[in-house]
DNA sequence: GCGCAATGCATGGGTTTCCATGAGTTGCGG
DNA sequence: CCGCAACTCATGGAAACCCATGCATTGCGC
């Protein structure tokens, strides 16, 4: 419960720091892997568990902030920056881009551990969110092209009749597509389907007029 | 279009700074009001337009970061911090709590103006979001107690019959409540109502079982 | 006490949805 | 060329939903 369900990555070019951090983390029962450079970190294949990246700003190959930016879109763990010569603009940029904390050496063990715990908790939450979303996206991929046209019409609140007219097909056929969509998306009800579509950011194409019914 | 649809508040105890900032903003065609202390700012009644608060960290009555915390829950404009003696922990805390930027004197006019424009744009967006939400909340207040019980059941995807059973009333009565809810919430369709309930954070009480139908 | 809002129920009729059965066309890959 | 997936459509019955009319009870404020 304390060593296998999370991991801490350390990227620092100073071997003594890597060692000290590794020992600190071990003494708190946490698993850690240290890298000497950003390149090593990026290339390594990392276990797929809630994690945290302790990142030094001054690295031999690339600036820590630039690394943050590079891996921003991808699927990366929250970052805790540490630095010997930090400046305010860097810290502002780091936090704005989502870093959990920005610590200047020397920092207290307590501060670092607090940041790490916050980061791992954040990653845990983020992962669970993403897992759910991935499942929905997987279901969406199961839809046929036609079903993908039907979905937005249905969650827009159109009647089957109206949606069918929109696609130029018969109401019967649309009902079949609609039914398949519900099944493939594992939606228990229309309300459910609407919420699922919301999370998949399916755009509302037409909204039914109130008086139009 | 450039002076009346936004305003910049300045809180700084240094009269020269206030004057300089006021002139800078005026030269950019922006309206500004300056205050000498946090107390003055809080007490003043401020125009209800997209705004931005330029806040000095070192104030006579209260620390700028504490002021940020105090007005955090309330309805306050985005903050751009400026300071003569900033430190990294302060900047981290400020940005974490939502500040737009954290500038140390001396800073360039361009940096400040960029931050201000970003802040006002942010506020504009936030206000438009809140305006919509307020309207929905107003509609929600129009609902009777019973209608407020019906809403979550309906958006959970329950059949009228099931929701009625849940409340121990007849299906007919529930249909009437349901209809009133739709009308009062200005929902054009069930899909619409689900999205509205989502934004109002109406919890899902029961979810219909797939096979149950 | 009277009016009014909120809540409750019934009946009836029209519309929509849900589901199953059955079946035809098209296009692609083995 | 055969099978299969995708798309199409019809019919028909059961269930659910929408709506209007009409009415009873309760509790609160004027």
What pLDDT score does B207 carry? Answer: 66
Compute the distance between CA of residue B10 and CA of residue B48 in angstroms, rounded to an integer: 16
Length of chain A: 213
Of the candidate CATH numbers 3.90.1150.10, 3.40.50.280, 3.20.20.80, 3.40.50.2300, the domain formed by A7-129 belongs to 3.40.50.2300
CATH topology of domain B143-199: Arc Repressor Mutant, subunit A (1.10.10)
Judged against a pLDDT cut of 60, whether residue B211 lies above it is answered with: no
Neighbours of A157 (CB within 10 A): 24
pLDDT, one tens digit per residue, over A96-127 is 999 999 999 889 999 999 999 999 999 999 99
What pLDDT score does B210 carry? Answer: 43
Judged against a pLDDT cut of 60, whether residue B27 lies above it is answered with: yes
Does residue B183 lie within 7 Å of nucleic acid chain C, judged by its CB?
no
Judged against a pLDDT cut of 80, whether residue B42 lies above it is answered with: yes
Q: What is the mean pLDDT of chain A?
A: 92
A209 and chain B: CB distance < 8 Å anywhere?
yes
pLDDT, one tens digit per residue, over A65-100 is 898 998 887 889 999 999 998 999 999 999 999 999
Please tell me which of the candidates B192, B194, B210 has its beta carbon nearest to residue A188: B210
What is the chain B residue with the closest CA to A183? B210
The residues near B63 (Cβ < 8 Å, ≥ 6 apart) are B57
Compute the distance between CA of residue A121 and CA of residue A131 in angstroms, rounded to an integer: 15
What pLDDT score does A76 carry? Answer: 92
The alpha helices in chain B, defined as continuous H runs, are 15-27, 38-43, 64-70, 88-96, 109-142, 145-155, 160-167, 171-184, 190-199
pLDDT, one tens digit per residue, over A20-38 is 999 999 999 999 999 999 9
C-alpha distances (whole Å) from A125 to each of A110, A111, A117, A118, B67 are 23, 21, 12, 11, 30
What pLDDT score does A121 carry? Answer: 97
What is the chain A residue with the closest CA to B100? A96
Q: Where is B101: in which H helix or E strand? A: strand B101-104
Q: Where is A49: in which H helix or E strand? A: none
Q: With 0-12 CB in 10 A as exposed, 13-18 as middle and 19+ as buried, what is B168?
A: exposed
Judged against a pLDDT cut of 80, whether residue A165 lies above it is answered with: yes
What pLDDT score does A2 carry? Answer: 53
Every domain of chain A and the residues it spans: 7-129, 143-199
The residues near A164 (Cβ < 8 Å, ≥ 6 apart) are A170, A171, A173, A174
What pLDDT score does B209 carry? Answer: 45
The alpha helices in B71-108, defined as continuous H runs, are 88-96
**Chain C positions with any atom < 7 A from a protein CB:** 5-12, 16-20
pLDDT, one tens digit per residue, over B53-108 is 999 999 888 898 898 998 887 889 999 999 998 999 999 999 999 999 999 988 99
């Amino acid at each position: 419960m304390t060593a296998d369900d999370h991991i801490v990555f350390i990227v620092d070019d100073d071997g003594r720091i890597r060692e000290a951090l590794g020992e600190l983390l071990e003494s708190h029962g946490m698993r850690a892997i240290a890298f000497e450079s950003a390149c090593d970190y990026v290339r390594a294949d990392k276990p797929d568990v809630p994690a945290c990246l302790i990142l030094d700003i001054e690295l031999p190959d690339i600036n820590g902030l630039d690394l943050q930016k590079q891996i921003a879109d991808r699927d990366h763990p929250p970052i805790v920056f540490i630095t010997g010569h930090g400046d305010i603009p860097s810290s502002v940029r780091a936090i704005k881009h989502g870093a959990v904390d920005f610590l200047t050496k020397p920092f207290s063990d307590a501060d670092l551990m607090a940041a790490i715990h916050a980061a791992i908790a954040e990653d845990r939450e983020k992962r669970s969110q993403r897992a759910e979303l991935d499942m929905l996206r997987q279901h969406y991929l199961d839809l046929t092209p036609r079903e993908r046209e039907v979905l937005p019409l249905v969650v827009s609140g159109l009647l089957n009749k109206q949606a069918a007219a929109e696609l130029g097909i018969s109401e019967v056929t649309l009902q079949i597509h609609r039914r398949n969509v519900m099944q493939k998306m594992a939606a228990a009800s229309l309300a459910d389907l609407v919420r699922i579509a919301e999370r998949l950011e399916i755009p509302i194409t037409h909204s039914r007029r109130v008086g139009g019914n």
